[in-house]
Chain A
Amino acid sequence: MSKKIGDVILDLQNISLRFGGVKALTDISFNVREHEIRAIIGPNGAGKSSMLNVINGVYHPQEGKIFWRGKERKRMEPHMAAQQNIARTFQNIALFKGMSVLDNIMTGRMTKMKANFIEHALWFGRAKSEELAHRRKVEEVIDFLEIQHIRKTPVGRLPYGLQKRVELGRALAAEPSMLLLDEPMAGMNVEEKQDMCRFILDVNDQFGTTIVLIEHDMGVVMDISDRVVVLDYGKKIGDGEPEEVKNNEEVIKAYLGAGH
C-alpha cells in the first residue's frame, strides 16, 4: 500500500485531565499526521476514551495545548469539533434509536444544511432542494457501507454489527477530515471485524480521511495502523510504528503484568 502521509494536523502537547482528584490523563503528548491511521491502545481504564473526548471537545483538559492544523485551539464545545470536520463514533453505540438508518445518516450532514425551520415548515425555498442534494450524498455513504437493504429500518431493530456500521456511516456523512473511532470492533464476530477493517481501510484510502482509533484487538491494530500510542494509567508508555511498540518492554509489562 503506497499512501501519502502528510504533515502533522493534530498536535497534542502535555495534556493533563483531572476529574476532581482522579487523574485521567497525565502529561500526554503525541501527534497525528494527515492521512494516517493512528491507533490508541492500552489496558482498561488507561484513559483512551478520555483522550478522544479531549480531541473532540467533550472534555476540557486542565493543562496542555492542542494544535489543529498549526493553530492553537481554544476551549471548544463538541459541536465546534463538527464544524472543524472532526467526526467520531462511540464505544457504546450512540445512534438515534427512534430514527431510521437513513435519518440517522442524514443527521451527519446537519452542519452542512442551511435552511431554517420556517423554510422547513413551509417546505419552501432551500428546504426541499437541500434535502434532495444531501440525500444523494447520504446514498453514496449507504452504498459504500453496503447497507442499502436496511435504509428505512429503525436502527433499534438492527443487530449490533450493523448498528456499528450505521454509526460509522453517520460519521462519514459529514465528510470528515479526521475520524475518531472508539472501539469500532468491540463485540463483533470475526466476519464483522473483517468487514469493519475493510471499511476503515477503504475510508482511509479512498477519501484520505485521517483516522484515530481505539481498539483492543491487537491483531487488528497491528495490521491496519500506521502508528500506535500506548497509554497506561493515564500516562503514555509507548509511541511508534506497530513493530516498535510490540517490542517495547514497558508495553509488554503493562499488558502482561509486571510479575512475569
Chain B
Amino acid sequence: MLYREAGQFKTTYAADQQLFPIRQDRIGLLLLLAVAFVGVPVLASEYWFSAILIPFLIFSLAALGLNILTGYAGQLSLGTAAFMAVGAYAAYNFQLRVEGIPILVSFICAGLTAAAVGILFGLPSLRIKGFYLAVATLAAQFFIVWCLTKFPWLSNHSSSGVISAQDIVIMGFNFDTPVSKYLLVLAIVSVMALAAKNLVRSSTGRAWMAVRDMDVAASVIGIKLMPTKLLAFAVSSFYCGVAGALYAFCYLGSVEPDGFSLDMSFKILFMIIIGGVGSILGCFLGAAFILLLPIFLDFTLPGVAELFGLPFSNATVSHIQILIFGALIMFFLIVEPHGLARLWQIAKEKLRLWPFPH
C-alpha cells in the first residue's frame, strides 16, 4: 500500500530520467543516508565500526569497481585484489614521498595509479573474452603481488613488504577514532556510488552494456570497442584502487602484499554474483551477505546448539558455519541466479501491484 507510484505523473523527460523516479525510493534512500550518517555513529559500538561497518563499506566499493567491469562492461576479471593492492601501496607511497600532499589527493592518485595498471592489464581484453580473459587478469593478480614483495622501494624497505598506513589528517583534523574513519569511508563510498550510478545511466554506461551484450552490433552502431573496454578497466580499477587505499588506511592500518590474495579477488567476485551482476545496489547487498553472514552465524550457532542440547565444540561450530554459508549461497543462486538485487526488484514490482497478482 505504501509503495505505489500511482498519481506520480512524469511530465518532462528530466523527471522521467532522474536517478530514482519513484518518490518512495527517494524518501527511502534519504532515510537510509540519514541513518548511516547520523543514527549509526550515535548508536553503534566501536566493535561494529572497526569489524563490520568499515570493511562492509570498503568491500562494497571494491565490488562496485568489479561490477562496473564485469557486470556492466562484461569483462570477467580475477585481479580485483591486486588492483586494491596497487591502490593501497600507491596511497602509502604518495603520502610518504610527496611532501605535504593532502590525504584525499593521495587517495585519488592511488585510484589513478590503479587505473593506469588496470588499463595495462586490460589490453588483452581487446583480443580475448570470457574465461580466457579471466585467466589473463589472473596474471595481474600474481604479478602485482610479486612486484610488491620483490621491489622493497615500494614498501619503503620494510621487511616482507608490510606497510603501516600514515595518519589520516584532513584540514588539521585527525581521523583516528573508528567513528571518524567510518564517516570518512561512508562519505567517500556514497559519493563514488552516486558517480557509478550516473555513469551507468549515461551513454558511457550504455556503451559498456552494448559491448557486453553484443559487441559486433555495438561496433556497427559506432561504439569504438577498444576505448570503451579500456575505459571500463580504468574506471573499475580506479574504484578498486581507492577501495584498496581505504582498506589500508581506514580498516587494517598495516597491510602486506600477500593480504591481497586471489582469495580476496574471489570473495569480491562472489559478492557481485550473489548481490547481482550489473547492479549498483547488488554490490552493497552482496558485500553485506558475504561479510555479515559468517559473523551472524558465529553469534547464533552456539546459542542454537545449546538450545537443542547438542555438544558442539568450537571447531564443529566453525565447520557448520562454513557448511550453512555454502548452502545459502547455493540456495540464493538457484532461487534467483541474477542475485539479491533482482530479488529486491521483484519484491518491489510485486509491492507496486499488491494485493493484485497482475
User: Is A110 touching B214 in the complex (CB atoms < 8 A)?
Assistant: no
List, in ascending order, chain B residues with CB within 8 A of A97's CB. Answer: 213-214
User: Is A95 touching B209 in the complex (CB atoms < 8 A)?
Assistant: no
Q: How far is the CB of A234 from chain B (nearest CB, A)?
A: 22
Q: A interface, by DSSP: helix, strand, loop or mixed?
A: helix
User: Is B203 touching A110 in the complex (CB atoms < 8 A)?
Assistant: yes
Among the listed stretches B144-152, B221-229, B251-259, which one makes contact with chain A, having 4 or more residues with CB under 8 Å of it?
B221-229
List, in ascending order, chain B residues with CB within 8 A of A68's CB. Answer: none
B199 at interface, CB cutoff 8 A: yes
Number of A-B residue pairs having CB atoms within 8 Å of each other in the complex:
110
* A128-B17 Cα distance, complex, nearest whole Å: 10
Among the listed stretches A16-24, A114-122, A188-196, A220-228, which one makes contact with chain B, having 4 or more residues with CB under 8 Å of it?
A114-122
Q: Quick one: closest A residue to B278, CB to CB? A: A98
* Contact A98:B13 (CB < 8 A) given known A103-B206, A110-B223, A123-B198: no
* A111-B203 Cα distance, complex, nearest whole Å: 10
Q: Quick one: closest B residue to A123, CB to CB? A: B198
Which residues of B173-213 have CB atoms within 8 Å of chain A's CB atoms? 195-196, 198-199, 202-207, 209-210, 212-213
* A110-B221 Cα distance, complex, nearest whole Å: 8
* Contact A82:B17 (CB < 8 A) given known A96-B209, A107-B210, A117-B231: no
Q: How far is the CB of A141 from chain B (nearest CB, A)?
A: 14
Q: Quick one: closest B residue to A119, CB to CB? A: B202
List, in ascending order, chain A residues with CB within 8 A of B219's CB. Answer: 77-79
List, in ascending order, chain A residues with CB within 8 A of B327's CB. Answer: none
* A106-B212 Cα distance, complex, nearest whole Å: 16
Most buried by A among B203, B206, B225, B231: B203
List, in ascending order, chain A residues with CB within 8 A of B198's CB. Answer: 120-123, 127
* A78-B224 Cα distance, complex, nearest whole Å: 9
Known: A95-B217, A98-B278, A107-B218. 9 other contacts (CB 8 A): A58-B216, A79-B224, A98-B213, A99-B206, A110-B221, A111-B221, A117-B199, A117-B204, A170-B221
Residues of B within 8 A of A (CB): 13-14, 17, 195-196, 198-199, 202-207, 209-210, 212-214, 216-225, 231, 235, 278
Ordered by A's residue number, 22 sampled pairs between the chains whose C-beta atoms are within 8 Å are A79-B221, A79-B222, A79-B223, A81-B222, A82-B221, A88-B220, A95-B213, A95-B214, A96-B209, A96-B212, A98-B209, A99-B213, A106-B203, A107-B210, A107-B218, A107-B221, A110-B203, A120-B199, A120-B202, A121-B195, A135-B13, A174-B221
Residues of A within 8 A of B (CB): 56, 58, 77-79, 81-83, 87-88, 90, 94-99, 103, 106-111, 113, 115, 117, 120-123, 127-128, 130-132, 135-136, 139, 170, 174
